[in-house]
Amino acid sequence: MRASLLQIDVEDDESVKSRRLRVSSLVREVAEREGPDLIVLPELWTTGAFGYEAFATEAEPLQGPTYEAMAEAARDAGVWLHAGSVPERAPSDGGSDGALYNTSLVFSPAGELAGAYRKIHRFGFDKGEAVLMGAGHELVTVRTPEAVLGLATCYDLRFPELFRGLVDAGAEVFVVPAGWPARRRAHWSLFARARAVEDQVFVLACGTAGAHAGVEQAGASVVVDPWGEVLAEAGPSGAEVLTVDLDLAKVAETREQFPALKDRRLGVAEPRL
């Protein structure tokens, strides 16, 4: 499988509509130039992950403008497209507006929706995304002809139990779009490698560059193999495309050569107090 990660430069002075057009064109350009099977975009690239004030105003229904633009781009490019995530406004149950979610979208080469994942772990503690958006409740995998993709988003990287669940669901490649802040860049790289090593999978972690609402972004998009080796890593600033060929047989080979997953002990009794 050949994968291309698009580290998008997200600046506050660009409109969502303009950015949507720019990124759609970039997907087509990268597909033609690099020939990937899979293209990955970052988290909340339409608004910026820290553009909290825009979440409500720019929120879309699942099949909104970004969905339509990305479905068309995937179809035109003939690629699997993880379109990062968008602020989704769910249908309301009554007269009030529906809840907001940080929702990732994956499209097939035919432009059909293959998977949608609502981010489970929301960042911000008592502010920002944590209070403005609802939490997802379901693990999501997407089966492509080459591999089973396990979906997670940004802050999810800090919660290894989510990724164990994805492994149990058959995931061989974790795809993690993010809007990770620069001040914790070291954590970003560490967690991407840790999730790859402990679950013996490939990790495709795609971040943004630039600044969201004054918060400098980490960049440093990275591809890690099941042994924890970094196959490619972007710089900390500026737009960049990482294209990597993944030898997916390495997942099974690593698990056979070092079968740590077989030694998991689930259901062990709670310690006595």
Q: Using the predicted structure, report yes or no on whether residue 271 has a pLDDT greater than 80.
A: no
Is residue 25 domain-resident?
yes
Q: Using the predicted structure, report yes or no on whether residue 212 has a pLDDT greater than 60.
A: yes
pLDDT of residue 272: 64
Q: What is the CA radius of gyration of the chain?
A: 18
State the CATH number of the domain containing residue 83. Answer: 3.60.110.10
Is residue 267 domain-resident?
no
Is residue 265 domain-resident?
no
Closest CA to 129 of 198, 213, 62: 213
How does residue 92 score in pLDDT terms, banded at 50, 70 and 90?
Answer: confident
Select which of 58, 88, 119, 206 is catalytic: 119
What would the pLDDT profile of 102-159 be if each residue is shown by its tens digit?
999 999 999 999 999 999 999 999 999 999 999 999 999 999 999 999 999 999 999 9
Select which of 58, 88, 129, 154 is catalytic: 154
Is residue 272 domain-resident?
no
Would you call 17 a catalytic residue per the annotation?
Answer: no
Range list of H helices, the chain = 16-34, 52-58, 65-77, 129-132, 160-168, 185-199, 249-257
Would you call 34 a catalytic residue per the annotation?
Answer: no
Is residue 79 domain-resident?
yes
Cα–Cα distance between 24 and 21 in angstroms, integer?
A: 5
Would you call 154 a catalytic residue per the annotation?
Answer: yes
What would the pLDDT profile of 234-252 be if each residue is shown by its tens digit?
999 999 999 999 999 999 9
Closest CA to 156 of 171, 133, 132, 139: 139
Is residue 205 domain-resident?
yes
Select which of 43, 88, 129, 240 is catalytic: 43
Range list of H helices, 62-184 = 65-77, 129-132, 160-168
Is residue 234 domain-resident?
yes
Q: Using the predicted structure, report yes or no on whether residue 94 has a pLDDT greater than 60.
A: no
Range of the domain at 154: 2-260
pLDDT of residue 250: 98
pLDDT of residue 139: 98
**Dihedrals φ, ψ of 4, to 5°?**
-120, 125
pLDDT of residue 266: 79
Q: What does DSSP assign to residue 170?
A: T
- Residue 212, strand partner residues: 215
What would the pLDDT profile of 1-47 be if each residue is shown by its tens digit?
999 999 999 877 889 999 999 999 999 999 999 999 999 999 999 99
pLDDT of residue 97: 62
Mean of per-residue pLDDT scores for the chain: 95
Tally of domains in the chain: 1
pLDDT of residue 138: 97
